[in-house]
A = this chain, B = another copy of it.
Amino acid sequence: MKTSIGAKTFVFPTPVFVVGAYDINGRPNIMTAAWGGICCSTPPCVAVSMRKATYTFDCIVRNKAFTVSLLSAEQAAVADYAGTVSGHSVDKFAGAGLTAQKSELVNAPIPAEFPVTLECELFKTVEIGLHTQFIGKIIDIKVLEEVLDERGRVNIDKLKPFAYDPESASYYATGAKFGKAFSIGASISKKNE
């Protein structure tokens, strides 16, 4: 029997997205967002939600572009820092010792030190409530070569990414690969044939 834990924002895994954008002065900024995920295959789109009060919100509205970076667990403190101080008062690139590279495809900064960065054009803006959802069309993904496999795909065991747990407000490492998708369910399909 299941018990009620109330209406709250819990799912797992929740991603740790570091969102990059330029401010009104052209200064690069980052913020961390856990409310988001891929939302469409064609065009390829990623959704990121943020409050209007964030410094990044106006940056995205103005530039109609942003980046979404995925970090390794070793960089979790940088993601946490970017999620706990505001670009209103702090230069987070300087504070975290990051290098901003201008994307050649969208008007948004690519933090050189982060292993994976999605370059996004603002595609749709969805007002939900406290959070506004920015849907970004993924124009390209830039990746540090050391996290790629021999076929040029991101290798999770090399990237060593992490997840956020809203229930305990904690970060979790990624464990082992254990099954092939569109495959391990075949045992159930076959049983029913």
Contacts and interface: CB of A to CB of B under 8 A. Distances in A.
Contacts of A141: 4-8, 10
Contact of A156 (B12, B124, B182, B191): B12
A186 interface: yes
A119 to B, nearest CB: 9
Interface string A169-193: 1111111111111111111110110
Interface residues of A, number: 109
Contact of A185 (B7, B82, B139, B161): B82
Contacts of A177: 165, 168, 170-173
Contact of A3 (B78, B101, B148, B172): B148
Contacts of A133: 39-40, 47
Contacts of A188: 77-78, 81, 95-96
Given A154-B167, A178-B76, A11 B37 contact: yes
Nearest to A43: B129
12 contacts: A5-B154, A7-B141, A9-B38, A12-B161, A12-B174, A34-B38, A41-B131, A153-B168, A154-B167, A162-B178, A172-B177, A174-B174
Nearest to A143: B5
Given A36-B37, A84-B186, A90-B192, 10 more contacts: A7-B43, A12-B161, A39-B47, A39-B128, A43-B129, A80-B186, A85-B185, A95-B189, A95-B192, A128-B135
Interface of A: 1-15, 17, 34-47, 49, 68, 70, 73, 76-85, 90, 94-96, 101, 110, 112, 116-118, 123-124, 126, 128-131, 133, 135, 138-145, 148, 152-156, 159, 161-189, 191-192
